């Protein structure tokens, strides 16, 4: 037994020794290979590599590509690159860096802290590496340095690029802004690792960042033994980023921003009902994107973040509001299409509607009396829609809302866009695990409850209602370099034309009818007449006490006041423009939002934005094409001309 | 005979005297090469890389001695626990990596960013050594008994592949396989394994990340991408070759200092060393590594227990793999895989792993006659 185990041990020992020799031999062999390779590289090929190394004085640097510009439909620049002058110094060329800095202090206002920081940095890098002293120099500072250059050895001016947005607040939400590349954005394109490279953070700058970015060039620079640059040998300039031309009309855009800025917080969209091209898209309050590209102070940034109007948010595409009465066209269409109502259906409105043991109030306390569809729309009678909706049902209403562009993203080229919400029975079950209650359909019929829409969706809905039922989508980018990005043939919504015409008639009566809710806001010039619909969306439930005490909405604190909404289109003879306006906590749609809608639709028609062709020739696009077209006044009923 | 059966506790003094001072001297020498190179890589700035490396070495050095003094039976008992601990950390980074930003491969302990995959290489060897301690070469002819060993290797490999870190997972496989070989797993298994790996490589190519494919392709033809991945290899070869017989002199390596050589403080530190110290310096470094290997093999042969023997040789092989892969990589013999030169490259985890390994190897030596229960 002992013998056997000893034998076994000996066998083990032998196996281990044998295998150790195999592995050791393999390892020794590999080390020998490495040694041989080292000898080959350093001894045999050494001379060749030595010459290569001497020649290896060519440093390849990446050149920052110029970012593409962004223009409006008239060719007006909305984002471009401005020259950014920086002062730099090569420490070894100065007599005494500290003294030079003191001398510069007076010329470009450097404070003590900045000087300390520069001195600190100079210790860390080789003395021939240029150090940045200050960037974003103005002309005065540049010329002051230029004049004193002889007394400042080693100091020089370098020209870089900084993004500039000439329309400032007016385009901040559409164009967005650029900023330093964050860690999570690095990867892929090597150009992102360039120091000072800027990347689109929001808006078109973000959505079309890859196209705007361009391709980095390279510069081969000969350096001497100590790494100092001697001369440039080869330069491949890279490619400038694409020019992006938007459907926006800068004149309208400027006007919109200014018009909205009267309100504390508002947003609006103006678009083409046939093509879907967006002419103006505004959110107020806004911010100056130039502050963000040139460095914003911490206080200013805090101020932007804490503003109750959320200036950094694009409320036109990301603000989600209950549509209020502007939703009544959807309910009406669902009613007509399902056959629940016809042109002749009429309802008696006593000022309220009792359903399922609850009382639902119409906005008009005394009631509207006998109401048909046209009157229900133009005078915004709630009772009519309450009654109809209980028969149509929420799922049908949601179906038609979706057809009109509500409850989902419309795919505009802004990543900030939000989907809104169009609830139905399945949604309620899925999100709350509860059955849909019939009472919810009643309030949904007038755009209250869980329904959330963006101003963009409301404009799109209006466009689809008045363009003959084509499923237009809003879009902003018309052209990228020479390539037109859109062809605008839209599918049709499966609804009857006569139903759409009926609804359009109702909307026309809102502004032209004797009791229309927006009759006081009709455009003064007859050829520009608009149709539309007002909406006042409750933010807070109106309690019984409020009703009894007769609390006026305008007496409530700002954040509890109703949202004011208006959707409209013009001209009524041959609709071309659709718009949506939402004034947050603006009180009432007819008093606050409708006048804004009127001004926007009036202005866009005067500017005749739709007739501005986006030029084929890239050079032609720079020339403004704003020629007011002679418009022949005509009677609204038979008018065919006007804007085309 | 009495010496053979001696199982009594060794006194502290005995242990201290029995420490392998020769091995310790070589380890310090190797780390010294690292400090010199890092001082040069930092353009003569000691505080940039050399100082943090030095302070980590000091901490690790004390750790190494402590590890060496701890009884080998204790390490034997802890073997599976260490393995499980490493495995849990590996899962932790995988989960955190998904929750946090991007692919994170390390755990931040403040003074060091711990890469569990590096530690896992050692944990696999410890666990395998314990497993094979229980089953001798005769047992291993039974295939059933090989399954646990295969699992010990393949579980962490699978996780590391997910990270995805192809280089590290290959190293775990190679280190584990070498240990199996030393333990006496039948030879035909390795032959079959290598053949099937070659066959499996073809579909595997499909699942490789683009950047990994790019690395292999550029390796085959570095000139195809002189600014990207091929740049590293080309520049490294020029730097090495231009060093010549006697080198350009300390702090005078032009290629490294003009920033033609990327990653000169980590993966390409051998290049920097050989550029400045030439063929003489490069060969001396290779020789130093070889002496360390031989020393470890000598220790393995002196150990009386299967555990100590396999552990010391396994850790040596792991250490050798690092060095062989790294040096072959910077010389342009194999693709750029991102493996550091142990004890020389800048980096905390690899330093810690190497010093821990030598601590364990010395523990094997000090306790070479201790009997270890077969559990």
Residue A524 sits at the chain B interface (C-beta within 8 Å) = no
Strand-pair partners of A77: A71
Contacts of B278 in chain A (CB under 8 A): 42
Contacts of A8 in chain B (CB under 8 A): 136, 138
How confident is the model over A65-91, as a mean pLDDT? 89
Smallest Cα distance from B109 to chain A, Å: 21
Cβ(B312)–Cβ(B278) under 8 Å? no
With 0-12 / 13-18 / 19 or more C-beta atoms within 10 angstroms meaning exposed / middle / buried, residue B53 is: buried
Which is it for the CA torsion B367, B369, B373, B375, positive or negative?
A: positive
Cβ(B289)–Cβ(A32) under 8 Å? no
- Name the most confidently modeled range: A50-59, A590-599, B211-220: A590-599
Residue B329 sits at the chain A interface (C-beta within 8 Å) = no
How confident is the model over B22-43, as a mean pLDDT? 93
Smallest Cα distance from B12 to chain A, Å: 31
**Is residue A281 classed as helix, strand or coil in its secondary structure?**
strand
Which is it for the CA torsion A612, A617, A622, A624, positive or negative?
A: negative
**Tokens 């340095």, residue located:** A145
Smallest Cα distance from B232 to chain A, Å: 14
Residue A83 sits at the chain B interface (C-beta within 8 Å) = no
Report the alpha-carbon distance of residue A528 to residue B81 in Å, rounded.
83
**Is residue A565 classed as helix, strand or coil in its secondary structure?**
strand
Report the alpha-carbon distance of residue A177 to residue A254 in Å, rounded.
18
Report the alpha-carbon distance of residue A643 to residue A24 in Å, rounded.
90
Residue A230 sits at the chain B interface (C-beta within 8 Å) = no
Region of A136 please: left (phi>0), alpha (psi -120 to 50) or beta: left
A227/B257 touch (CB, cutoff 8 Å), yes or no? yes
How confident is the model over A623-643, as a mean pLDDT? 34
Q: What is the pLDDT of residue A481?
A: 87
Query: For the ranges A4-8, A166-170, A374-378, B292-296, which has the lowest average pLDDT?
Result: A4-8
Report the alpha-carbon distance of residue A276 to residue A270 in Å, rounded.
10
The token duo for B350 is 């690899």
Report the alpha-carbon distance of residue A389 to residue A376 in Å, rounded.
13
Q: What is the pLDDT of residue B221?
A: 63
Q: What is the pLDDT of residue B311?
A: 96
Smallest Cα distance from A24 to chain B, Å: 8
Report the alpha-carbon distance of residue A315 to residue A210 in Å, rounded.
25
Cβ(A265)–Cβ(A285) under 8 Å? yes
Cβ(B20)–Cβ(B365) under 8 Å? yes
A8/B138 touch (CB, cutoff 8 Å), yes or no? yes
Residue B116 sits at the chain A interface (C-beta within 8 Å) = no
pLDDT at A632 over 60: no
- Domain annotation covers residue B261: yes
Residue-range definition of the domain harbouring residue B319: 3-366
Residue A28 sits at the chain B interface (C-beta within 8 Å) = yes
Residue A84 makes CB contacts below 8 A (sequence gap 6+) with A135, A136, A159, A160, A161, A162
Q: pLDDT per residue over A404-435, tens digit each?
A: 999 999 999 999 999 999 999 999 999 999 99
Report the alpha-carbon distance of residue A441 to residue A516 in Å, rounded.
25
Cβ(B275)–Cβ(B258) under 8 Å? no
Which is it for the CA torsion B285, B288, B292, B297, positive or negative?
A: positive
The token duo for B18 is 């029995």
Cβ(A46)–Cβ(B241) under 8 Å? yes
Residue B290 sits at the chain A interface (C-beta within 8 Å) = yes
Q: What is the pLDDT of residue A626?
A: 35
- Are β-strands A244-246 and A70-71 bridged in parallel, bridged antiparallel, or unpaired? parallel
B317/A34 touch (CB, cutoff 8 Å), yes or no? no
Contacts of A14 in chain B (CB under 8 A): none
Q: How many CB pairs (< 8 A) connect A and B?
A: 125
Contacts of A24 in chain B (CB under 8 A): 293, 297
A218/B227 touch (CB, cutoff 8 Å), yes or no? yes
- Domain annotation covers residue B93: yes
The token duo for B264 is 């000169």
Residue B280 sits at the chain A interface (C-beta within 8 Å) = no
Contacts of B324 in chain A (CB under 8 A): 27, 30-31, 34
Smallest Cα distance from A120 to chain B, Å: 15
Residue B233 sits at the chain A interface (C-beta within 8 Å) = no
Q: What angle do CA A197, A202, A205 make, to 5 degrees?
A: 60
Report the alpha-carbon distance of residue B332 to residue A21 in Å, rounded.
28
Report the alpha-carbon distance of residue B263 to residue A108 in Å, rounded.
38
Q: What is the pLDDT of residue A188?
A: 64
Cβ(B335)–Cβ(B217) under 8 Å? no
Smallest Cα distance from A34 to chain B, Å: 7
Q: pLDDT per residue over A116-175, tens digit each?
A: 888 887 776 666 667 778 878 888 888 888 888 877 888 888 888 889 999 999 999 999
Cβ(B71)–Cβ(B365) under 8 Å? no
pLDDT at B108 over 80: no
Report residue A610's pLDDT band, with 50, 70 and 90 as the boundaries: confident
Report the alpha-carbon distance of residue B236 to residue B317 in Å, rounded.
26
Q: What is the pLDDT of residue A225?
A: 52
With 0-12 / 13-18 / 19 or more C-beta atoms within 10 angstroms meaning exposed / middle / buried, residue A561 is: buried
Q: pLDDT per residue over B306-349, tens digit each?
A: 999 999 999 999 999 999 999 998 998 887 777 899 999 998 88
Strand-pair partners of A370: A348
Report the alpha-carbon distance of residue B116 to residue B118 in Å, rounded.
5
Q: Is the peptide bond before B164 cis (omega within 30 degrees of 0)?
A: yes
The token duo for A563 is 């949202």
- Domain annotation covers residue B90: yes
How confident is the model over A623-635, as a mean pLDDT? 36
Q: Is the peptide bond before A571 cis (omega within 30 degrees of 0)?
A: yes
Report residue A1's pLDDT band, with 50, 70 and 90 as the boundaries: very low
Give the Cβ contact number of residue A554 at 10 Å.
Answer: 10
The overall longest dimension of chain A from CA atoms, in Å, is: 123
Cβ(A329)–Cβ(A499) under 8 Å? no
Report the alpha-carbon distance of residue B352 to residue B55 in Å, rounded.
12
Q: What is the pLDDT of residue B227?
A: 56
Which is it for the CA torsion A440, A442, A444, A449, positive or negative?
A: negative
Cβ(A531)–Cβ(A508) under 8 Å? yes
Residue A274 makes CB contacts below 8 A (sequence gap 6+) with A463, A467, A470, A472, A488, A576
H or E segment and range at residue A371: strand A369-372
Q: List the one residue out of A198, A164, A186 whose CA is nearest residue A65.
A: A198
With 0-12 / 13-18 / 19 or more C-beta atoms within 10 angstroms meaning exposed / middle / buried, residue B230 is: buried
Report residue A106's pLDDT band, with 50, 70 and 90 as the boundaries: confident
Q: List the one residue out of A359, A353, A438 whose CA is nearest residue A387.
A: A353
The complex scores an ipTM of 0.90
Closest-approach residue (CA) in chain A for B243: A42
H-helix segments, A109-218? 112-124, 139-147, 172-175, 203-207, 209-213
Q: What is the pLDDT of residue B94?
A: 76
Which B residues in the span 30-69 are in contact with A, Cβ-Cβ below 8 Å?
43
Q: What domains are defined for chain A?
A: 61-246 (3.90.1310.10), 250-299+312-480+488-629 (3.40.710.10)
A43/B279 touch (CB, cutoff 8 Å), yes or no? yes
- Are β-strands A244-246 and A477-480 bridged in parallel, bridged antiparallel, or unpaired? antiparallel
Report the alpha-carbon distance of residue B4 to residue A31 in Å, rounded.
36
pLDDT at A206 over 80: yes
How confident is the model over B59-88, as a mean pLDDT? 94
H-helix segments, B144-186? 146-162, 166-183
How many structural domains is chain B composed of? 1
Among candidates A52, A126, A223 on the partner chain, residue whose Cβ is nearest the Cβ of B242: A52
- Are β-strands A155-164 and A178-180 bridged in parallel, bridged antiparallel, or unpaired? unpaired
Backbone angles phi, psi at A480, to 5 degrees: -120, 115
pLDDT at B104 over 60: no
A200 or A482, higher pLDDT = A200
How confident is the model over A47-70, as a mean pLDDT? 79
Residue B52 makes CB contacts below 8 A (sequence gap 6+) with B346
Report the alpha-carbon distance of residue B326 to residue B345 in Å, rounded.
10
Residue B192 sits at the chain A interface (C-beta within 8 Å) = no
Contacts of B181 in chain A (CB under 8 A): 19, 22-23
Report the alpha-carbon distance of residue A573 to residue A502 in Å, rounded.
14
Closest-approach residue (CA) in chain B for A124: B45
Report the alpha-carbon distance of residue A16 to residue A29 in Å, rounded.
19
- Residues of A marked active site are found at 325
Q: What is the dihedral of CA A75, A79, A81, A84, to 10 degrees?
A: 140
pLDDT at B304 over 50: yes
With 0-12 / 13-18 / 19 or more C-beta atoms within 10 angstroms meaning exposed / middle / buried, residue A247 is: buried
Look over chain A and give the mean of its residue pLDDT values, rounded to a whole number. 85
Q: List the one residue out of B273, B278, B312 whose CA is nearest residue B292.
A: B312
Cβ(A527)–Cβ(A571) under 8 Å? yes
Residue A542 sits at the chain B interface (C-beta within 8 Å) = no
- Name the most confidently modeled range: A587-591, A640-644, B254-258: A587-591
DSSP code of residue B102: S
Count Cα atoms within 13 angstroms, Cβ side, for B363.
26
Contacts of B328 in chain A (CB under 8 A): 30, 33-34, 37
Q: How many residues does chain A have?
A: 644
């Amino acid at each position: 037994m002992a013998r056997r185990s000893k034998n076994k041990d000996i066998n083990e020992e032998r196996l281990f020794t044998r295998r150790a020799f195999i592995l050791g031999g393999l390892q020794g062999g590999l080390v020998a290979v490495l040694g041989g390779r080292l000898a080959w590289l350093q001894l045999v090929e050494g001379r060749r590599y030595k010459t290569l190394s001497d020649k290896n004085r060519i440093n390849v640097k990446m050149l920052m590509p110029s970012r593409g510009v962004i223009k409006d439909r008239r060719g007006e620049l909305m984002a471009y690159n401005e020259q950014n002058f920086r002062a730099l110094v090569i420490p070894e060329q100065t007599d005494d860096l500290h003294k030079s800095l003191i001398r510069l202090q007076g010329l470009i206002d450097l404070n003590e802290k900045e000087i300390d920081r520069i001195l600190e940095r100079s210790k860390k890098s080789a003395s021939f590496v240029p150090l940045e002293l200050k960037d974003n120099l103005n002309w005065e500072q540049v010329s002051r340095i230029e004049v004193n250059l002889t007394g400042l050895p080693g100091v020089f001016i370098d020209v870089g690029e900084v993004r500039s947005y000439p329309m400032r607040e007016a385009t901040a939400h559409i164009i967005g802004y650029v900023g330093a590349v964050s860690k999570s954005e690095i990867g892929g394109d090597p150009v992102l690792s360039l120091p000072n490279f800027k990347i689109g953070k929001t808006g078109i700058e973000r959505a079309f960042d890859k196209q705007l970015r361009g391709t980095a060039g390279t510069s081969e620079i000969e350096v001497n033994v100590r790494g100092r640059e001697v001369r440039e040998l080869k330069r491949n300039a890279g490619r400038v980023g694409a020019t992006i031309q938007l459907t926006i009309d800068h004149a309208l855009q400027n006007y919109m921003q200014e018009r909205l800025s009267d309100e504390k917080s508002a947003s609006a969209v103006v678009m083409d009902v046939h093509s879907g091209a967006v002419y103006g898209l505004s959110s107020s309050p806004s911010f100056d994107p130039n502050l963000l590209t040139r460095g914003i102070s911490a206080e200013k940034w805090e101020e932007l973040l804490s503003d109750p109007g959320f200036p950094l948010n694009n409320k036109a595409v990301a603000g989600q509001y209950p549509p209020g009465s502007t939703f009544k066209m959807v309910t009406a269409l669902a009613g007509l299409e399902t056959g629940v109502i016809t042109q002749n259906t009429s309802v008696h409105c006593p000022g309220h509607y009792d359903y399922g043991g609850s009382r639902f109030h119409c906005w008009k306390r005394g009631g509207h009396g006998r109401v048909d569809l046209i009157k229900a729309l133009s005078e915004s009678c709630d009772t009519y829609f309450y009654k109809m909706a209980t028969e149509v049902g929420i799922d049908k209403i949601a179906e038609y809302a979706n057809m009109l562009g509500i409850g989902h993203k419309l795919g505009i080229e802004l990543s900030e866009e939000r989907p809104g919400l169009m609830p139905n029975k399945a949604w309620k079950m899925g999100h709350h695990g509860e059955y849909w209650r019939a009472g919810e359909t009643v309030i949904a019929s007038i755009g209250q409850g869980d329904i959330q829409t963006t101003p963009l969706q409301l404009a799109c809905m209006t466009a689809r209602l008045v363009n003959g039922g084509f499923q237009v989508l809003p879009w902003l980018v018309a052209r990228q370099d020479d390539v037109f990005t859109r062809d605008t043939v839209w599918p049709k919504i499966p609804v009857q034309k006569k139903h759409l015409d009926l609804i359009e008639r109702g909307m026309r009566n809102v502004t032209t009818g004797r009791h229309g809710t927006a009759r006081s806001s009709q455009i003064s010039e007859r050829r520009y007449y608009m149709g539309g619909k007002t909406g006042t969306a409750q933010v807070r439930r109106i309690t019984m006490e409020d009703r009894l005490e007769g609390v006026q909405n305008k007496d409530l604190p700002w954040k509890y006041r109703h949202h004011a909404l208006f959707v409209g289109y013009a001209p009524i003879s041959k609709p071309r423009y659709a718009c949506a306006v939402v004034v947050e906590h603006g009180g009432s749609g007819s008093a606050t939002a409708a006048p804004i809608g009127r001004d926007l639709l009036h202005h866009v028609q005067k500017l005749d934005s739709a007739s501005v062709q986006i030029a084929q020739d890239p050079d032609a696009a720079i020339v403004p094409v704003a020629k007011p077209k002679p418009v022949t006044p005509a009677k609204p009923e038979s008018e065919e001309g006007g804007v085309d | 005979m009495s010496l053979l059966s001696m199982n009594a506790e060794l006194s502290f003094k005995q242990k201290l005297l029995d420490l392998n001072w020769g091995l310790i001297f070589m380890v310090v020498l190797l780390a010294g090469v690292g400090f010199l190179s890092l001082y040069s890589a930092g353009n003569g700035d000691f505080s940039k890389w050399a100082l943090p490396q030095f302070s980590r070495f000091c901490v690790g050095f004390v750790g190494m001695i402590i590890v060496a003094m701890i009884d080998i039976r204790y390490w034997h008992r802890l073997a599976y626990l260490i393995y499980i601990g490493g495995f849990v950390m590996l899962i932790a980074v995988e989960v955190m990596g998904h929750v946090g930003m991007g692919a994170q491969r390390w755990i931040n302990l403040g003074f060091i960013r711990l890469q569990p995959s590096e530690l896992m290489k050692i944990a696999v060897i410890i666990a395998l050594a314990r497993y094979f301690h229980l089953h001798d070469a005769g047992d291993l002819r039974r295939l059933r008994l090989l399954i646990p060993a295969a699992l010990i290797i393949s579980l962490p490999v699978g996780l590391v592949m997910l990270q995805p870190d192809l280089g590290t997972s290959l190293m775990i496989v190679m280190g584990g396989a070498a240990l199996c070989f030393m333990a006496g797993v039948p030879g035909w298994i390795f032959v079959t394994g290598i053949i099937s790996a070659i066959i499996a490589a073809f579909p595997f190519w499909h699942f490789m990340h683009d950047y990994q494919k790019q690395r292999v392709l550029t390796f085959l033809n570095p000139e195809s991408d002189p600014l990207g991945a091929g740049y590293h290899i080309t520049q490294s070869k020029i730097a090495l070759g231009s060093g010549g017989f006697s080198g350009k002199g300390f702090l005078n390596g032009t290629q490294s200092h003009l920033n033609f050589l990327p990653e000169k403080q980590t993966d390409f530190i051998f290049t920097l060393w050989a550029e400045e110290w030439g063929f003489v310096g490069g060969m001396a470094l290779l020789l130093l590594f070889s002496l360390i290997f031989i020393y470890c093999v000598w220790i393995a042969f002196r150990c009386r227990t299967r555990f100590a023997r396999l552990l010391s040789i396994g850790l040596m092989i792991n250490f050798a793999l690092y060095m062989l892969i790294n040096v072959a990589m910077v010389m342009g013999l194999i693709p750029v895989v991102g493996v550091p030169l142990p004890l020389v490259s800048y980096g905390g985890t690899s330093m810690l792993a190497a010093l821990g390994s030598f601590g364990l190897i010395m523990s094997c030596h000090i306790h070479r006659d201790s009997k270890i229960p077969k559990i």
